[in-house]
């Protein structure tokens, strides 16, 4: 089993229901054991494309799958919830991003671990720091809580 961190986001449709239901699907997947789930956060989009605010969160899990197998599984769950890839950073029903896979570093045409932009994104680091503050991001060697403390967290609010 490999400890992984996944970011979840949605800004189309009933985002809360989509996120909660996608967690249920993930948790019922053979070879996946959910460890911790963050709170949900309402966040401003980082795109120049006008779109609604997002709901974002993170989950840690143990996975038997390889990074590539886990990526295929995450993309299949996105499709199950109506994800259509039209434009980069566009609005979406569901976005599941693999952030960390143990302390692995990987750079292939389909997958980069750690996620290449996670250390710049408060909408990822704030929920991840809630559930895995001491996990060290392998490229920088810094704890998630340290990375979260250095990003601008404006536009990231606890969802109620």
Active site residue 95: yes
Active site residue 107: no
The 10s digit of each residue's pLDDT in 50-72 is 889 999 999 999 999 999 999 99
| Regions of the chain where pLDDT drops below 70 | 83-90
Residue 153: other Cβ atoms inside 10 A: 15
* 0.85 surpassed by pTM: yes
So what's the pLDDT on residue 47? 74
So what's the pLDDT on residue 88? 59
Catalytic residue among 14, 53, 85, 97: 97
Active site residue 92: yes
Which residue, among 113, 112, 1, has the nearest Cα to 65 in the 3D structure? 1
Fold that domain 2-158 belongs to in CATH? Alpha-Beta Plaits (3.30.70)
So what's the pLDDT on residue 49? 77
DSSP 3-60: EEEEEEEE-SSSHHHHHHHHHHHHHTSTTEEEEEEPPPEEE---SSS--PPEEEEEEE
CA distance 37 to 127: 9
So what's the pLDDT on residue 121? 95
So what's the pLDDT on residue 46? 79
């Amino acid at each position: 089993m490999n400890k992984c961190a996944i970011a979840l986001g949605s800004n189309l449709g009933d985002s809360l229901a989509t996120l909660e239901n996608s967690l249920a699907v993930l948790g019922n997947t053979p070879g996946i054991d959910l460890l911790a789930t963050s709170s949900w956060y309402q966040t401003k989009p980082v795109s120049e494309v006008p779109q609604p605010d997002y709901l974002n969160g993170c989950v840690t899990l143990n996975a038997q799958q390889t990074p590539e197998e886990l990526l295929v599984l995450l993309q299949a769950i996105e499709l199950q919830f109506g994800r259509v890839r039209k434009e980069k950073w566009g609005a979406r029903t569901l976005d599941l991003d693999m952030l960390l896979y143990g302390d692995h570093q990987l750079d292939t045409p389909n997958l980069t671990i750690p996620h290449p932009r996670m250390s710049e994104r408060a909408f990822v680091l704030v929920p991840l720091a809630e559930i895995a503050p001491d996990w060290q991001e392998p490229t920088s060697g810094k704890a998630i809580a340290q990375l979260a403390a250095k990003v601008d967290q404006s536009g990231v609010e606890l969802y109620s």
